[in-house]
């Protein structure tokens, strides 16, 4: 935050991160926008890997009444529910963060404070929606 | 753009890359994203209008031809969107060219297979 003054006055040495090593990642506190960015990539990769599973469920859900019931039975196990919840988070994060990127592409909210706020807004929207998905998956309503 | 004049390779207007594949990928990633947002909205509206989601209610959403076509367009957009994203991941983290190329080919073939599978899934309803 004090980048403008640090050039003039000599300050105490700070840790420098250039091409950071894997072991440094845990100590590197990323700003919210950077977290949104890496989560966007992780969620996208997860959704890509889950593609065959999701297409298979989609297929089962449409073939017949019997296969629909089979799909529902597969989705009733708690391990599968956890996987589906993770994928629901992945979709919701990727969706909301993606809309943020589309807005940023139009050069809206590029200033640091606004970008920081919109990054936090991504969590404020995607995480409650994930909670709703969790409640739905585990039968709260 | 590339010219043989001595000034072509230097200065503010220097040519940095060749074929501008990146710009095309960038734009198509955004275009496919917009298609997917639109499809999610349409599907959400249809889901809310469908009432109880038993087999008949769910399957009837995908019976009309226009919904099949729309869903297939969305799936193809999704697959191309995934292609650009996954290709970027390979390009960022996998440095040996042979391994990267193999992973990219496998990704492309896999996404192509998913596209064919999607047609089968949708047109069986």
Closest-CA residue of chain A to B113: A52
| A70 located within any domain | yes
Confidence of residue A28 (pLDDT cuts 50, 70, 90): confident
Could you tell me the sign of the dihedral formed by the alpha carbons of A16, A18, A19, A25, in that order? positive
Which of A10-24, A96-110, B6-20 has the highest average model confidence (pLDDT)?
A96-110
Answer with the residue of higher pLDDT: B12 or A91: A91
Average of pLDDT values for A43-64? 96
| A3 located within any domain | no
| A14 located within any domain | no
Which residues of A sit within 8 Å Cβ distance of B?
41, 44-45, 47-48, 51-52, 55, 58-59, 61-65, 68-69, 95, 98-99, 102, 105
Of A62, A98, A99, the CB nearest to B59: A62
DSSP letters, A82-127, are HHHHHHHHHHHHHHHHHHHHHHHHTT-S-SHHHHHHHHHHHHHHHH
Confidence of residue B115 (pLDDT cuts 50, 70, 90): very high
Average of pLDDT values for B42-66? 91
Count of the separate structural domains present in chain A = 1
Domain of A71, in residue numbers? 31-137
| A18 located within any domain | no
pLDDT in tens, B67-77: 999 999 999 99
Answer with the residue of higher pLDDT: A12 or B50: B50
Residue B21's pLDDT is what?
A: 76
Asked if pLDDT for residue A68 goes beyond 70, the answer is yes
State ipTM. 0.83
Q: What is the dihedral of CA B112, B116, B121, B123, to 10 degrees?
A: 140
- Cα distance between the two ends of chain A: 45
> Which domains, ranges and CATH numbers included, belong to chain B?
6-123 (1.20.1300.10)
CATH code at position A57? 1.20.1300.10
Asked if pLDDT for residue A52 goes beyond 70, the answer is yes
DSSP A25: G
Residue B45's pLDDT is what?
A: 94
């Amino acid at each position: 935050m004090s980048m403008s003054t640090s050039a003039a006055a000599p300050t105490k040495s700070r840790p420098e991160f250039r091409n950071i090593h894997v072991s440094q990642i845990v100590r590197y506190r990323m700003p919210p926008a950077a977290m949104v960015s890496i989560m966007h990539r992780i969620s996208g990769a997860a959704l890509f890997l889950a593609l065959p599973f999701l297409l298979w469920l989609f297929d089962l859900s449409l073939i017949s009444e019997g296969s629909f019931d089979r799909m529902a039975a597969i989705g009733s196990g708690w391990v599968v529910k956890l996987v589906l919840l993770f994928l629901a988070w992945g979709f919701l994060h990727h969706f909301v963060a993606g809309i943020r990127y589309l807005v940023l592409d139009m050069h809206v909210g590029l200033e640091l404070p606004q970008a920081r706020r919109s990054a936090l807004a991504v969590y404020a929207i995607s995480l409650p929606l994930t909670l709703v998905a969790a409640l739905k998956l585990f039968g709260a309503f | 753009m590339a010219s043989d004049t001595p000034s072509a390779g230097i200065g503010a207007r220097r040519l940095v890359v060749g074929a501008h594949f990146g710009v095309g990928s960038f734009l198509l990633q955004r275009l496919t994203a917009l298609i997917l947002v639109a499809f999610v909205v349409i599907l959400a509206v249809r889901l809310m209008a469908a009432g109880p989601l038993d087999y008949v209610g769910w399957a009837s959403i995908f019976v009309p031809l226009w919904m099949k076509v729309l869903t297939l367009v969305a799936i193809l957009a999704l697959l191309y969107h995934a292609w650009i994203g996954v290709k970027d991941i390979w390009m960022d983290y996998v440095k040996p060219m042979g391994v990267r190329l193999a992973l990219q080919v496998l990704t492309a073939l896999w996404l192509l297979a998913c596209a064919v599978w999607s047609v089968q899934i949708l047109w069986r309803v």
